Structure 1
Amino acid sequence: MARGKRSNGEGSVYQRKDGMWIGAAYVLTTTGHRKRVTVSATSEEEAWKKLRKKIADSDAGIPVSADNWTIEGYLKYWLDNVVSTKRPRTVEGYGAVVRRHLVPGLGAKKLQRLSAQDVRTFLTRLRHDCRCCADKIDAKRPKDARRCCAVGECCGQVLSDRTVQQIHAVLRNALQHAMREEVIPRNVAKLVQVKSPRYDVHRGLDADQARKLLKEAESDRLKALYVLALYLGMRRGELLGLRWTDIDWDGWDEPCGPHADEFCEECADRYFPSLQVRQTLQRVGTKLVFVPPKTDRSERSTPLPPLVAEALIEHWDRQDDEAEAADAWEDSGLVFTTPQGGPIDPTYLRASWYPLRKRAGLDGVRFHDLRHSCVTLLLRLGVPPHIVRDIVGHSAIDVTMTIYASVSLQDKREALKKLTAELG
C-alpha cells in the first residue's frame, strides 16, 4: 500500500541496492543542534522501528552523540585530557587498565552503541577466562618453557574480584565524564553491578606481637620508622616522604611548670611535639616523586607521644653520624633516607622489613599491616572511632570501622559474657 504524506520530522526509510533498509531523520545531538542520523535493518518494518526509537529519544530530550567516537578513541582522549591532571600513580594505574583490558575488550565498539549488556558480558569474560590463554602469554614463552595454554593445559589464571572491580570503576569513571560532556546520554556501566571483593581484616598484630616487633627493631637503623608505623598508623609513602621540617619540636626540651630550672620528664606529656603529614613518596615508572597525601583527610597533624619523639631524636643522632661518615651526603631533608642521605625507594623498604619480620616470627605479615594493627589496637583500647580516623588519616569513618576494625573471638566472648551477666 502506498504511504500517505509523512509529517515533518518523521524521517524516511529506503532500500539500498544491497537489500538493506536504511532509516534517516534529523535528531537532537549532544551539542544542542540537530543532525541527520541513519539506522539500518534487514526489513522495512525493523528500520522504521529503530528510526522511531531515535526520534522518540530526541523528543524526550535524550541526545545522540555529536562525535562518532570508538571506545578506544574516547578513552585515549579521556586519559590525555582528564586523567592526566590527577596524581601520578592514578594516571599510571588508569592507563594500565585501559591498555591491558578495556581497549582489547571493548576498544573497537562505538561509544554511542555501548550497552549495559556489552559491559556485563565483558566483565563476565574477564572473571571467567584464563588470562594466560586470553592474552596468549604462554605462547610468547620459549618452547621449552611453555606449560599452559600453548601445550593444552590451561592454568586457570583468572582475575581477582578486586581487579575486576577496578576495571569496572575505570570504565564507569570514563563514561561518567563522557556523559558530563554530553557525548553520551547515560552511563551504562552504572547499570552493571560487580561482585565486591572480600577484604581480609585479620592481618594485624596483637599487642604481644607488636611488642616483640619493636624489641627486634631496636638495633635496626630504621627503628623509628617502625615505631611511627605502629603508633601513628602512617602509610609507607607518608613515612618515606616525611621531612624534619614537618616535625614541630616546640617546648619539647624547655623548662616547664614547677621545675623552672630544668626540663622535667614527668611533665613531658604536656609538651607533645607534633608531626605534619604533608607529602608522600611514590615510585611512578622509573622515577621517585613527591605528591600530596592520598586524600584531604590524609593531610593531618598528629601529636607525638614521648616514646615516639625519643625514637625520632635517636634516629636524628644516627643520621648525623651517617652524614659525617658518608663520602658524599645528599641533604634531602628527609627523616628516613638511604645511608647516603637520598630518598628510600618504597619497593626497597622490604630489604629492611623482611629480615625484621622474620626475626620477630611474623612471616607473611605485610608492612601495611602495621597500619591495620594501629587502628585495631586503638579501637580495642576504647578510643572513639572518629579520633582513630583522624590519627591515621582515613577518608571516612566507614573505612575505619568496616575494613580495619576486625573483631576477634575474644572480643565476641567478652561481649557475650556481659550479655549473660545482664540476663542472669
Structure 2
Amino acid sequence: MARSKRANGEGSVYQRSDGLWVGAAYVLTTTGHRKRITVSAKDQETAANRLRRKMADSDAGIPVAAESWTVGRFLRYWLTHVAREKQPRTVEGYAVVVNRHLVPALGQKKLDRLSAADVRTFMQQVRNRCRCCSDGLDAKRPEKARRCCAVGKCCGRTPTDRTVQQIHAVLRNALQHAMREELIPRNVAKLVQIRTPRYGVNRGLSFEQSRTLLEAAEGDRLSALYVLALYMGLRRGELLGLRWSDIDWDGWDKPCPDHAEDFCEDCSDRFSPSFQIRQTLQRVGAELRFLPPKTERSERVYPLIRVCAEALLDHWDAQDDERDAAEHWGDSGLVFTTPTGGPLDPSNLRSSWHPLRKRAGLDGVRLHDLRHSCVTLLLRLGVPPHIVRDIVGHSDIDVTMTIYASVSLDDKRQALSRLAKELG
C-alpha cells in the first residue's frame, strides 16, 4: 500500500509488504537534534496513535533517546558510573539485585518501552516465586539432598516484603537517573505500588534483660564492645572501626574541684572524656575495608560516660596483656581486635555473641538488637526523640520513632492508667 502524503512535520503512516503498519516522523532527541523515528503496530490506528504520542512529547519538549538502550545495558551503565558514588556495601547490594533479579527478567526490554505493566508483572513474579526456583538453590544441593524445585516440588518460601521492596527500590532509583539523563520521559517504577514491610516491635531488650546481659558479659574478652553497643547504640561496623586515637581522655584523671573526687559524675560535663565515630569496618567482597560512616549524621561525637570509660580502660589493660603474649602483634590501633591485634572480621563476632546471649538466656537476640534497645530504653526514660536521634546517628527522626522505637504493654498500661487517674 502506498504511503499517505501529509504536510511537513506531520509524519507518515504506511503498511509494509509483510502487513505491519509503520509510523515515521522527525522528533527531538536528547542530543538536541531532530531524528527520524519509527513506530509499528499490527493495525493502522494503533500505529498512528503511537506516532502521535511520540510527536506530542517532542512538541512538549520531551526528547527521545538518541540511541537505543535495553534495560540490561542501562542498568550495568548505572552500576558502573552512577551507583558507585554510594557506599561500597550499598553498591554490592545493588549489583546483587541487578544481576540476580532485574537483568534476567527485564534486561532484554527496550528502556524507552518499559511500561508500568511490565514492572507490575515483574514484581508480582518476584513476590510469588520461591528462592529455590528463582536462584536455583535446590539444584545446587547434592542429588540426595534435593527436595524442592529440582525434584518437581516447590517449598513455597517466597521473598519477604522487605526483599521485594529492595528490588523495587533499585529499579526505581536506576530509572530515576535514566529520566534525569532524558533517556525516558517518566519513571514507570514509581507508578507501581509495593506493599510496605511491617517491622516487628519489641525487638529491643527490657531494662531487666539488659542488666542480665551486662552481667553475663563480665569477664568476656569483648565485654567493652557490648557495653558500648548497649549504652551508645553503636552499629557493629562503628564498634569494629573505633580506634584508640578516636578517644579523647582529657579530664578523666582530673579531680573535681568542687567535690574532691576522681571524675565526679555530677560535674563531668565540664571535663568529660569523649570519642568520635570517624570510620566503620566492613567486609566488601573478599576484603575488610575501612569506610566512612553510613551518613553525615553518623559521623558524630559521644560523651564518654563513666561506665563506658571504665569498660574501655579494663579492655585496654587486657589488650596490653595480649600484646605481651603474642609472638607477632599487628598494631592496627583499633580498640577491638583479634588476639594478635588485627582487625576483627564482623562475621567472627558470632563466636563471641552467640555464647554470650545463651548465657544470658536471650537466644535469638541479634547483636544489632542492642542498638534497638538503646533507642527504646532512652525513649522510655523520657529522653526527647531528637536527642536520641543524635546519639545513635539516625539520618531522620522518623527512623528513630517508626522503625527502632517500640512500645511495650507496660508502656501502654502506664499511659492508660495515667489517663484513667486524671479522669478520676
Pair 1:16 & 2:21 matched: no
Pair 1:407 & 2:407 matched: yes
Provide closer, same or farther for how the CA distance between residues 332 and 3 of structure 1 changes in structure 2, counting only shifts above 3 A. closer
Q: Determine the structure 2 residue equivalent to 1:374.
A: 374
Superposition deviation, residue 400 in structure 1: 0.9
Provide closer, same or farther for how the CA distance between residues 392 and 13 of structure 1 changes in structure 2, counting only shifts above 3 A. same
Q: Determine the structure 2 residue equivalent to 1:65.
A: 65
Superposition deviation, residue 405 in structure 1: 1.5
Q: Determine the structure 2 residue equivalent to 1:116.
A: 116
Superposition deviation, residue 135 in structure 1: 3.8
Distance 1:369 1:343 in 2: 23
CA contact (8 A) 1:256 1:267 kept: no
RMSD: 1.7
Q: Determine the structure 2 residue equivalent to 1:56.
A: 56
CA contact (8 A) 1:70 1:109 kept: yes
Superposition deviation, residue 331 in structure 1: 0.5
SS in 1 for 2:283: strand
CA contact (8 A) 1:30 1:184 kept: no
Distance 2:337 2:395 in 1: 28
SS in 2 for 1:363: coil
CA contact (8 A) 1:269 1:306 kept: no
CA contact (8 A) 1:28 1:62 kept: yes
- Look up the equivalent residue of 1:210 and give its one-letter code: S
Q: Determine the structure 1 residue equivalent to 2:76.
A: 76
- Look up the equivalent residue of 2:42 and give its one-letter code: T
- The correspondence of residues 315-330 of structure 1 with structure 2, limited to 5 A, is 315-330=315-330
- Look up the equivalent residue of 2:257 and give its one-letter code: G
TM-score of the superposition, structure 2-length normalised? 0.96
Q: Determine the structure 2 residue equivalent to 1:210.
A: 210
Superposition deviation, residue 3 in structure 1: 8.9
Distance 1:55 1:26 in 2: 8
- The correspondence of residues 4-403 of structure 1 with structure 2, limited to 5 A, is 5-258=5-258, 263=262, 265=264, 269-270=268-269, 271-403=271-403
Distance 1:319 1:147 in 2: 49
1:237-266 alpha-carbon deviations (Å, 9 max, x no partner): 000000001111111102331467x84546
Distance 2:344 2:62 in 1: 53
Distance 2:137 2:416 in 1: 53
SS in 1 for 2:24: strand
1:89-143 alpha-carbon deviations (Å, 9 max, x no partner): 0111100100000001100100000011111110011001223224443334443
Seq. identity, %? 72
Distance 1:266 1:381 in 2: 19
Distance 2:149 2:338 in 1: 44
Provide closer, same or farther for how the CA distance between residues 407 and 150 of structure 1 changes in structure 2, counting only shifts above 3 A. same
- Look up the equivalent residue of 2:112 and give its one-letter code: Q
1:25-79 alpha-carbon deviations (Å, 9 max, x no partner): 0011122221000011222233222212211221122221112000110011111
Provide closer, same or farther for how the CA distance between residues 47 and 267 of structure 1 changes in structure 2, counting only shifts above 3 A. closer
Superposition deviation, residue 151 in structure 1: 2.0
Provide closer, same or farther for how the CA distance between residues 35 and 314 of structure 1 changes in structure 2, counting only shifts above 3 A. same
CA contact (8 A) 2:4 2:14 kept: no
SS in 2 for 1:219: coil
- Look up the equivalent residue of 2:291 and give its one-letter code: V
TM-score of the superposition, structure 1-length normalised? 0.96
Aligned residue pairs: how many?
423
Pair 1:419 & 2:419 matched: yes
Distance 1:2 1:244 in 2: 82
1:394-415 alpha-carbon deviations (Å, 9 max, x no partner): 1111111111221111111111
CA contact (8 A) 1:268 1:306 kept: no
CA contact (8 A) 2:24 2:51 kept: yes
Larger deviation: 129-138 or 362-371?
129-138
CA contact (8 A) 1:71 1:109 kept: yes
Superposition deviation, residue 267 in structure 1: 5.9
SS in 2 for 1:38: strand
CA contact (8 A) 2:4 2:13 kept: no
Distance 1:361 1:46 in 2: 68
Distance 2:107 2:3 in 1: 41
SS in 2 for 1:10: coil
CA contact (8 A) 1:225 1:239 kept: yes
1:147-180 alpha-carbon deviations (Å, 9 max, x no partner): 1123222111211110110001100110111111
Superposition deviation, residue 208 in structure 1: 0.9
Unaligned runs of 5+ in 2: none
- Look up the equivalent residue of 1:77 and give its one-letter code: Y
- Look up the equivalent residue of 2:14 and give its one-letter code: Y
CA contact (8 A) 2:161 2:196 kept: yes
Larger deviation: 223-232 or 263-272?
263-272
Larger deviation: 182-191 or 355-364?
182-191
Distance 2:22 2:93 in 1: 43
